[in-house]
Amino acid sequence: MGKAVGTDNARGKSTYPSMMGLNKSKEFAKKLVRNALQALDDFDNNSNSLRAIACYIVERKK
């Protein structure tokens, strides 16, 4: 599912890892998820699916 690894790089497309480096882009993604989770703090448990999706994005392996 999805596209093959390296296709964006082969096509010269800008990606966060190519612009910031892999480690900085991962930290940036984690920061964005923390901000998203913080924004959901005012909502009840009906927002748990959004919280789960946000966490999955930075925790998934492939």
Burial 21-30 (b: 16+ CB within 10 A, else e): eeeeeeeeee
* CA separation for the pair 32, 10 (Å, rounded): 27
pLDDT tens column, 2-34: 778 888 888 888 889 889 999 999 999 999 999
CA angle 55, 58, 61 (to 5 degrees): 115
pLDDT tens column, 31-52: 999 999 999 999 999 999 999 9
